[in-house]
Structure 1
């Protein structure tokens, strides 16, 4: 069985309605947290900038939370702008729902395929696709691009354990049948 891996190459853009230009423009996170203390309460935001009008907005990570309720390691990560903590915050579905943003993965991921192609006599070929990050992709497009097939050809020759035309962000397996 071959193993393909979908990996993030950069942080995804955020798609949110800008309050200034009113467009549904993608906003790029700066990758830095803003931490503000007010007495014993702490607020943490992730600033984002509109790519159309350059307006900055704050996306809420935590708002007015008692300082003692934070794990010290997490608090240090916010203060140090830990890149892994920024990525995990952006990829958190609760963060996206609370701030009314969606992730735009266009150009932010790459498929890593082993260099060895199966020989003609090795049909059918079984492939496992795993995701390092929850990148939503349509299996038919992913498979067709990786194998150099048209999507119709891929739909005809591929037997998959997930719906081929619906985006998925979880691992799946498929079998490539030989050409007729």
Structure 2
């Protein structure tokens, strides 16, 4: 059996998911919270949009290991489903690596590499179905207040033809507990 670049990436995402599940299981078995888990913060995003035959839903959990008050590094998963009645549906699945830096309490600088698999299915024959991978590399700047950050990020790898985002500039709200 030939292993393609596409299947290697699927195995990588499966491996990251399994490692995350095993860490979660291990932490639940420990009677006392380990030093590692005291530094892990969980967060993510949930999106829902609908109207006039359109539906879009996103679930994007993430976890960050906070090395100290200023620096954190983490992983995220992304799952999105879009549908327009009698037109198309798409599924977007992927993962990301994020790093955050707080030079002062109110300011957060971030970098995030995201890799998404886009699967588009059209109901009429005017467009061909598509399945492809698209990377994103975001540089962000935000205002931080406790666990919430409001900011703007820019995708330096933005490709108008393939990106799942309408514009390389995107506002964000980030929450970690």
TM class, shorter-length = under 0.3
Which is bigger in relative contact order (C-alpha 8 A, separation at least 6)? 1
TM-score (norm 1): 0.24
- The answer to which structure has the higher strand fraction is 2
Q: What's the TM-score, normalizing by structure 2?
A: 0.24
**Which one has a larger percent helix, Structure 1 or Structure 2?**
1
